[in-house]
Amino acid sequence: MDERTLEYYSTLLTLEETSTPPTAQPEHVCQLLDGDDPENTQSTLELCVRVCSASSAVCRPPTLKVILQLSVDYIVVFVSRKPTEVTDELLNNLHNIWNLCCPDRKPQFLDVSVPERRHSLSPTFRDFDERAPTPISDDEGGPPAKIVYATDIAPVLCTCEVTGNEAVSEVTGAGKSEVDSPRDFDSESNLQYFDRILCPRNIVLLSKSPCKASDVWQSLANVIVFMLNNWYLSEDSLTEQCLAVYRQDWPQNILENLSTCMKAVSSKWSRNSTGKFTLFLDFLADYCENMDFEPLEE
């Protein structure tokens, strides 16, 4: 058993010893897989938010990672078992948890617009009065202007006090870093759990759902778009996941379901994307829909 697995289970034991609500998350996931209807889901998610808050006594990086991993697995299982019940309220409750576990995420795309033509220039260049002025040569101009170098880095002041054998230092100024909190963690490392939304395990789980296939994959598309809109999932990450999935051999029905899912994501995300990403999704969707699968004979 590796260190990450040991850390995962040790945190679960810690949560059980402190009788905190997140211990109900694994139970809810198992109940959904068995076809049962878990109770108090709303209250459990709300209490998970309290555990992840900075004021919680058990709010530590391992605890946040466990709750985050369980919550991402929970929504995938929920989609496979109750696709028509994935509501905005449920996603917002999960968003409250994810936002505490990944607070430092940033937008993954930029709107690139073509600048307009300068009004001071003549489109035909026939009106010489409207042409851009000719730059002045160094020989014709006056003495060179004084060049001033400015820096945006504020100075950092450090004061030290010696008490016995110990030296106490205090950093002041604009350069002081706010990383002394006990809940310090790498927010980017926590985003890796969203980078596995289309892993083979989840695809197999969704393909074996007892519910209607169109409802399941449409619901998954809604979840993916929600993650994109809230910057938990980036276009680059989803692109890499799609390429990794399509490198493997899948039955024709799964390829058709993936095609339906990608088309839904492309149609709902096209308003916010740069265009290149949606073209890629449309290409993969058409490719999977028209591809004939032939299993290899042993």
Higher local confidence (pLDDT), 246 or 135: 246
- Which of 24-33, 91-100, 111-120, 159-168 is predicted most confidently? 91-100
Domains held by the chain: number:
1
* Bridge partner residues of 160 (DSSP): 169
- Which of 2-16, 114-128, 257-271 is predicted most confidently? 257-271
Examine residue 10 and state whether it is found in any structural domain, yes or no: yes
* Bridge partner residues of 167 (DSSP): 162
Examine residue 112 and state whether it is found in any structural domain, yes or no: no
Give 126-130 contacts, CB < 8 A, sequence gap 24+: none
* Bridge partner residues of 173 (DSSP): 156
* Average pLDDT of the chain, as a whole number: 71
Q: Residue by residue, what is the 3-state secondary structure of the chain?
A: CCHHHHHHHHHHHHHHHCCCHHHHHHHHHHHHHCCCCCCCHHHHHHHHHHHHCCCCCCCCHHHHHHHHHHHHHHHHHHHHHCHHHCCHHHHHHHHHHHHHHCCCCCCCCCCCCCCCCCCCCCCCCCCHHHCCCCCCCCCCCCCCCCCCCCCCCCCEEEEEEEECCEEEEEEEECCCCCCCCCCCCCHHHHHHHHHHCCCHHHHHHHHCCCCCHHHHHHHHHHHHHHHHHCCCCCHHHHHHHHHHHHCCCCCHHHHHHHHHHHHHHHHHHCCCCCCHHHHHHHHHHHHHHHCCCCCCCC
Examine residue 125 and state whether it is found in any structural domain, yes or no: no
Residue 253 reports pLDDT greater than 80: yes
Q: What pLDDT sits at residue 230?
A: 92
Average pLDDT over every residue of 119-126: 50
The pair of three-digit structure tokens given for residue 41, joined into one six-digit string: 């889901």
Examine residue 198 and state whether it is found in any structural domain, yes or no: yes
Q: What pLDDT sits at residue 262?
A: 86
Supply the pTM of this predicted model: 0.64
The pair of three-digit structure tokens given for residue 219, joined into one six-digit string: 């619901």
Range of the domain at 39: 3-106+183-232
Question: Which region among 21-30, 58-67, 96-105, 209-218 has the lowest average model confidence (pLDDT)?
Answer: 21-30
Cα separation of the two ends of the chain: 34
Examine residue 14 and state whether it is found in any structural domain, yes or no: yes
Q: What pLDDT sits at residue 275?
A: 66
Sole residue written with tokens 């897989």: 33
pLDDT tens-digit map of 55-103 = 766 677 888 888 899 899 999 999 999 999 999 999 999 999 999 888 8
Examine residue 99 and state whether it is found in any structural domain, yes or no: yes
